[in-house]
Structure 1
Amino acid sequence: MARIVVFSLCLLLTVRSIACIECYSCISTENPDCIHPEQHMERQKCNTDGLRQTSQYASKLSTEFKEIFDFPTIGGPIPLNCLKQVVKVEGTEVVFRGCQLPKDPHNQLDVCNKVLSSKNKNNVHVMFCALCDTDGCNGAPHTRPSLLAAVGALLLGALMVAF
């Protein structure tokens, strides 16, 4: 019985480790919904096709910039992350989202490290770059009031009532 439980746990861990995460994949120059994708876009499976799509988005910014996104030939399933980048191209802000290789211990595959450490490539200035590893994590940030602001508002309201 214990062997069956251990085998089942190992099987579940194996399946989870090769399961694809889902990411938003878009570029704001082609799709304005890319600014806030949660409202109107479906997430895509993050796999090698998604990785190629992200590279194609980068090529639309500049050929040299795309070279940063070229990835080695990959055999078999690999873990991938979601990517969100905000760049300025000749003064115009562009958002693109997609799939990318995860950070590695030596930062040789980390695309954010590469783009942030590179100088402007053909008038492409990177303003923001982040990798994440959960479904839909490369969406737009949600604005939420902070706990401090809520407590402050309650205290201010209590003071107003008291005086």
Structure 2
Amino acid sequence: MESRQVVVSCLSLIVLTACCNGQRLECYHCFSEGNPQCMNIEEANPPFVPTLCMAESEANGRPRCLKEVQIVKGRTVVRRTCVMALLDDYDAACAYASEDTIHCSLCDSDSCNAAPQYSTPAWILLWSAIIWTTWRIL
């Protein structure tokens, strides 16, 4: 039983280290006005590649990926980028958005501004499966 606890503890530490990578975050950067493929980034050809977004210091806020959808001159436009957020309340952080904004979301996992706001990151599912399998084996 003790070996099982040690293995699960080690795997949990690895998961926490992987998910909490400090000030490093990768976000998609595009604006559909200049690149119409930004509207649906998952079907873009060639595919978009997320870029590194880093805060110089905690005082500037923590990096967050932003997805904003607006109606501009009767057309829907999408902006995806990296921002430094001082607030942990995502709704409050988007409060600056104009009245033309129909969707604004911040997220804090790599490439999260491509998909719907509440998608489950693949690494959570992967590490859950690994921990569960290890627990069953031991």
TM-score, normalised via structure 1 length: 0.49
Q: 1:139-150 counterparts in 2 under 5 A?
A: 139-141=114-116
More strand by share: 2
RMSD of aligned alpha carbons? 3.2
1:84 is aligned to 2:88: no
Q: 1:59-74 counterparts in 2 under 5 A?
A: none
Partner of residue 128, structure 1: 103
1:21 is aligned to 2:25: yes
Note the C-alpha offset of 1:134.
0.3
Specify every segment of 5 or more residues in structure 1 that has no aligned partner in the other structure, as ranges: 1-8, 49-74, 143-163
Specify every segment of 5 or more residues in structure 2 that has no aligned partner in the other structure, as ranges: 1-12, 118-138
Larger radius of gyration: 1
TM-score, normalised via structure 2 length: 0.57
Residue of structure 2 aligned with 1:114, choices 96, 109, 117: 96
Partner of residue 38, structure 1: 42
Percent identity, aligned pairs only, is: 34
More helix by share: 1
The answer to whether the 8 A contact 1:23-1:45 is kept is yes
User: How many residues are aligned here?
Assistant: 96
